A and B are shown apart, each in its own frame.
Chain A
């Protein structure tokens, strides 16, 4: 089976499913990995919603990352913790799945997603439908053996020209080979949207560190994203340009926009919301 259902699969048990309506599941973050970012937690919620959406259309099509009105990053998570995942489907049809969802650790919310939309595409284009059905059955019964995820390879941002006080640019070299491509997706390798989001947030954090301090002192922290939109698939080996720009700054809130381009084509865009770090 190789890396399929191992290198980028973040649901290892489905606890309850009301077809086409709601789903609950869990994922045990392996204790021996270096980190598990908020973007991966969002991915886990999205994957749970995808299981519910695929089941609702008898595994003929699957949602892919598209839109998210709001992603609230409520608390960091750590290796060894167990994510309690939930998702509510707003609609599922042949064209799109719309959902909201959340993840908690020990009852404390760590992320909340609202009004997400994934375009539905033929499952056969991305994976073997029978393997997907078998995996779904496993997740509903015994659950998958935890600990398969071995962490992510690093794909650092390279600073690019054109920086100004309110703007930072960087280049992302998408790897040509990485374990997650065999899982996302076996029949059509695509750089996961959540990893692109992670790179976007990394650049946003670098820009946030350059902004004038909030009124309360301290520094800015990432609180969430809004109006996230993924416009195109990114195959392995692509070279992308990312730009983060400050669009609103006050004493107690700031907003950045992040945009990813491949040449002139906009691949993704989002707003990043910053708030003063809470000083204890």
Chain B
């Protein structure tokens, strides 16, 4: 499934529940969890918060969200070596990442991008799309908001 098949309407259907879940995990007001908010830069999330959010989303939406799935899916048919060289995302990898994380403004993809810094790009919408992909993977056709 590619990003083009996820509509804004679908994203907005799951967004309120994703935002509430993220606000619980981050201990912030739900109003702060804007769709375009960067988890790390805007919401001060740390690595443990990412785990917390993923597990809370799994329980809230009753889906399994495999960790590391975003990078794996973004890589597509590129090999690991084609995607990442010495911990830095290659040009080909960066192009794939930009296409996959289409919700992230282009200016935030700073080259060189360390693979370890990919989560810095994630926004609330990234998690909405993650939920939608997993819902589709298990055959949920209408987003359960």
Contacts and interface: CB of A to CB of B under 8 A. Distances in A.
Interface stretch (A29-37, A90-98, A101-109, A147-155): A90-98
Contact of A269 (B24, B27, B64): B27
Nearest to B47: A119
Contacts, number: 34
B51 interface: yes
The dominant DSSP class at the A interface is strand
Interface string A110-121: 000001010100
Interface residues of A, number: 16
Given A93-B67, A95-B68, A269-B27, A67 B52 contact: yes
Contact of B51 (A94, A95, A227, A269): A95
B59 interface: yes
Interface centre among B48, B66, B68 (most CB of A within 10 A): B48
B46 interface: yes
Nearest to A93: B67
A198 to B, nearest CB: 20
Nearest to A230: B48
A98 B68 contact: no
Interface string A61-80: 00000110000000000000
B61 interface: no
A92 to B, nearest CB: 11
B67 A67 contact: no
A115 B55 contact: yes
A256 to B, nearest CB: 14
Interface string B30-64: 00000000000000001110011001000100001
A231 interface: yes
A67 B46 contact: no
B128 to A, nearest CB: 21
B67 A95 contact: yes
A230 to B, nearest CB: 7
Nearest to A265: B46
Contact of A119 (B48, B59, B66): B48
Interface of A: 66-67, 91, 93-96, 98, 115, 117, 119, 227, 229-231, 269
9 closest A-B pairs (Cβ-Cβ)? Answer: A95-B67, A67-B52, A117-B55, A231-B48, A96-B51, A117-B51, A66-B48, A231-B46, A98-B55
